[in-house]
Amino acid sequence: MPALPTPLPLQTFSSAGVAIAYFDVGEGEPILCIHGFASSAHVNWVYPGWVDTLTKAGRRVIGLDNRGHGASEKLYDPAAYHTTVMAEDARGLLDHLGLARADVLGYSMGARITAFLAHRHPQRVRSAVLGGLGIHLVDGIGLPETIADALEAPSLEEVTDPQGRMFRAFANQTRSDRMALAACIRGSRNLMTAEAVGEIACPTLVAVGTKDHIAGEPGPLAALLPRGEALDIPDRDHMPAVGDKVFKAGVVQFLARRP
């Protein structure tokens, strides 16, 4: 098994009083990367090779640990994790770095945050990639709230729900604060209306694994977006799709041809 890439140095900034950790590497046009639930900037973007791929494509790569995750501050009120609040953390990081706008790449919960950011602050998002999130942005929540119960269970052995076990094991592996994650899953499962999706004017790539039963189909969501396009990630379920070479190549090509 190959060794993981060396961890990147993290900095922090205050987002309305909440300490948010981030890395900022490479040179060129900026791309902000927003990770998924129970993950972190390193787990989602560094270790699967995304930072290497994007910096080699001439990009400045910025990745934040969402509140409640990684090295960022842990909060235990579900209201603190509403997607609109987390989108403001992302906007705040752009402000902190003096960036008027950036391309934004999100996966799963991070894709939901990306969509809300693009809708609320269209002038800040040059283009968007919604990975691991399809039409369930609109017509379904995606991750069930029962995951919170799995995270709060005394041990992994007591979790019988397959999806709950998967996320509990992942949280154990990443040594996450499980109580903060439970609050997050209860507070961040927010839908966007089809009308709001239709107001996201930037070029948007919707990329979902063909075996992903969490995200919803990419095509119907792409069809709602004025400048949307869909990318199937062949034979990948929700988690393995994150580092897939087809996904990476599709994103690099999308970024190269967007205006």
- pLDDT reported for residue 1: 57
The residues spanned by each domain of the chain are 11-142+191-254
N- to C-terminal Cα separation, the chain: 39
* DSSP conformation class of 124: G
- pLDDT reported for residue 2: 66
Residues in the chain: 259
Which of 93, 118, 120 minimizes the C-alpha distance to 203? 118
- pLDDT reported for residue 7: 92
φ, ψ for residue 124, nearest 5 deg: -95, -15
Quickly tell me which residue has 């897939």 as its tokens: 244
Cα→Cα distances 164→38, 68, 145, 248, Å: 12, 18, 9, 28
Cα→Cα distances 90→35, 41, 103, 115, 186, Å: 11, 13, 12, 11, 20
How many degrees, rounded to 5, is the angle at CA 17 between CA 16 and CA 22? 85
Q: Considering the entire predicted model, what is its pTM?
A: 0.96
- pLDDT reported for residue 50: 98
- pLDDT reported for residue 5: 83
Which tokens is 56 given?
């080699």
Q: Around 123, how many Cα atoms within 13 Å sit in the side-chain half-sphere?
A: 3
Q: In the CATH hierarchy, which fold is given to the domain comprising 11-142+191-254?
A: Rossmann fold (3.40.50)
- pLDDT reported for residue 259: 80
- pLDDT reported for residue 158: 94
Per-residue pLDDT of the chain (259 residues; tens, 9 = 90+): 567 788 999 999 999 999 999 999 999 999 999 999 999 999 999 999 999 999 999 999 999 999 999 999 999 999 999 999 999 999 999 999 999 999 999 999 999 999 999 999 999 999 999 999 999 999 986 778 889 999 999 999 999 998 899 999 999 988 999 999 999 999 999 999 999 999 999 999 999 999 999 999 999 999 999 999 999 999 999 999 999 999 999 999 999 998 8
Torsion sign (Cα): 148, 154, 159, 163: positive
Which tokens is 124 given?
């800040």
